[in-house]
Chain A
Amino acid sequence: MAKYLLLKHYRGAPAAVNDVPMDQWSPEEVMAHVQYMNDFARRLEGTGEFVDEQALSPRGGWVRYDGEGRPPVTDGPFAETKDLIAGWMVIDVDTYERALALAGELSAAPGAGGKPIHEWLEVRPFLGAPPTITE
């Protein structure tokens, strides 16, 4: 088993096929979308593959250390930030192929017109623990 992060972007991913901003959907379409995502997570729990899911606010800023005894410096948010993460799901699956198949299903969540969004999701393997037997 290996864990993968399925990463969803507000910005930075290539354009989706059904690329209509969510605030332009009908309320029913929004509800159908949320329902799809919930059902998907519950189904993965049922298959023993679900680990975690979280959504992130698009708001937030930058912060860095500014030297001993000084408060951290903050900056932003930058409206022009190219890459803005919207949320993620963590799955624990037998193969990379399975991770791709599940990401594909997640990308089919319905959007405007009740049609699949076909949005691009980033699939990233976790760095796990080292094996005990190495030679």
Chain B
Amino acid sequence: MDEALLRTLTPTVIGVLGRRGAGFAAAEDAVQEALVEALRVWPDDPPRDPQGWLVTVAWRKFLDAVRADTSRRRREIVVDEEPARGPGAEVDDTLQLYFLCAHPSLTPASAVALTLRAVGGLTTRQIAQAYLVPEATMAQRISRAKRTVSGVRFDQPGDVATVLRVLYLIFNEGYSGDVDLSAEAIRLARLLAARTHHAEVAGLLALMLLHHARRPARTRPDGSLVPLAEQDRGRWDTRLIAEGVEVLQAALARDRLGEFQAQAAIAALHADARSAEETDWVQIVEWYDELVRLTESPVARLNRAVAVGEADGPPAGLAALAELDPSLPRHAAVAAYLHERNGNLGTAARLYAEAARAAPNLPEREHLTRQAARLNAELRS
């Protein structure tokens, strides 16, 4: 069965129900029910017209739900709770869904869940599995999110920046369970990029493609992390890199620079180097300068210190690091790396151990512990 097709059709079908007068919350519920039924029925009995099938079943689910609300008064509230849009309105339903699901009134976790369901066409169960929470919890998170946006008009343009933030979060979650969230984020970013001419949408898509290209080389079969410098670049996906670079160049040509384009430019420079030694660190530092200017982000400053260490030598990197707050996440890890490059192995070993204790996830902790162990063994011999 073509589950990908099912996902692609989801926002369209929600849009169709919206045009017929269903409010967002009710339409989304009905389409989710139709989706679950499709997953059950289609493998044995594939429809000739998948979209028509979904519209028919979802509309019936919607009408059932309305009828189930026995009180006529309640029924009017259901239909009136959100302004329905009449036919012929010149609005892109799918684009509006992106804006609604990433509405600023939602918490990041709610926006992520709602986007994956209403725009991504994932079932509640799949989203719950991806985020390792019970299905009931995820169902509640989604219905609360829908209540939160229930007063939002469905036909006003939203803020692209909040949508990008949500897609970035989904991409960064990576792969867990049977849903590849990185691939899903790329799919949603492509869909969005096809509907807007926003340079940062292209910037984020390029960033995702360039990082996704490295995925085969990022981890060993046992799940441990391979640092960028040690990755087998022959395993990077050259097709994704080529696409990412092309998307990025088109975005940069629009001359509306933003943080995602700057990050993508850094990823593109890494992708461009055939070996770690050939990396153009001087240009990478320049892009980090742009990124710091655009975002004031302490994480960008920390990564900039690493790049400065590569471009101008470890002492310069340490000098750049000295200007930053030592309580920043991963500060000790960066300090350890620069100290080792500078030949201070004892200090580096101590800092790697400190960084391992503060690591926010298991693969990083194990990587840092191995670094400390490697240096301590070297110091003993």
Residues of A within 8 A of B (CB): 1, 3, 44-52, 92, 94, 125, 127-135
Contacts and interface: CB of A to CB of B under 8 A. Distances in A.
A51 B107 CA distance: 18
A44 B140 CA distance: 9
Q: Is the interface of A mostly helix, strand, loop or mixed?
A: loop
B140 A131 contact: no
B47 to A, nearest CB: 33
Given A47-B144, A51-B137, A130 B109 contact: no
B248 to A, nearest CB: 15
A52 B136 CA distance: 11
Contact of A48 (B109, B182, B207, B225): B109
B361 A133 contact: no
A129 B144 contact: no
Contacts, number: 86
B359 A127 contact: yes
B108 A1 contact: yes
B303 interface: yes
A45 B225 CA distance: 34
A46 B143 CA distance: 9
Nearest to B307: A135
A130 B361 contact: yes
A133 B172 CA distance: 6
Given A94-B108, A129-B174, A130-B225, 15 more contacts: A1-B112, A44-B137, A47-B140, A47-B141, A48-B138, A48-B142, A52-B134, A128-B360, A130-B364, A132-B212, A133-B168, A133-B211, A133-B263, A135-B228, A135-B266
Contacts of A52: 134
A51 B207 contact: no
Interface in B286-311: 303, 306
A45 B361 CA distance: 25
B174 A132 contact: yes
A49 B207 CA distance: 31
B133 interface: yes
A3 B173 CA distance: 14
Given A1-B131, A92-B137, A129 B361 contact: yes
A94 B176 CA distance: 19
Contact of A94 (B107, B360, B361, B365): B107
B362 A127 contact: yes
Nearest to B363: A130
Interface string B243-270: 0000000000000000000010011001
Interface string B205-222: 001000110010000000
A47 B174 CA distance: 25
Please list the 4 inter-chain residue pairs (A to B) with the smallest Cβ-Cβ separation, ordered nearest first: A48-B141, A1-B109, A48-B140, A131-B172
Contacts of A49: 137, 141
Contacts of A94: 107-109
B60 to A, nearest CB: 28
A69 to B, nearest CB: 28
A127 B223 CA distance: 15
A89 B338 CA distance: 40
A128 B361 contact: yes
B210 to A, nearest CB: 10
B140 A45 contact: yes
26 contacts: A46-B144, A47-B140, A47-B141, A48-B133, A48-B138, A48-B141, A50-B134, A50-B137, A51-B133, A92-B109, A92-B132, A94-B109, A125-B360, A128-B361, A129-B173, A129-B363, A130-B361, A132-B212, A133-B171, A133-B172, A133-B207, A133-B211, A135-B267, A135-B270, A135-B303, A135-B306
A48 B172 contact: no
Nearest to B210: A133
Contacts of B371: none
B32 interface: no
Given A129-B173, A135-B228, A45 B136 contact: yes
Interface in B32-81: none
A45 B140 CA distance: 7
B94 interface: no
Contact of B174 (A3, A125, A131): A131
A26 to B, nearest CB: 33
B115 interface: no
B123 interface: no
B361 A127 contact: yes
Contact of B140 (A46, A128, A129, A135): A46
B110 interface: yes
Contacts of B140: 45-48
Contacts of A131: 172-174
Nearest to A49: B137
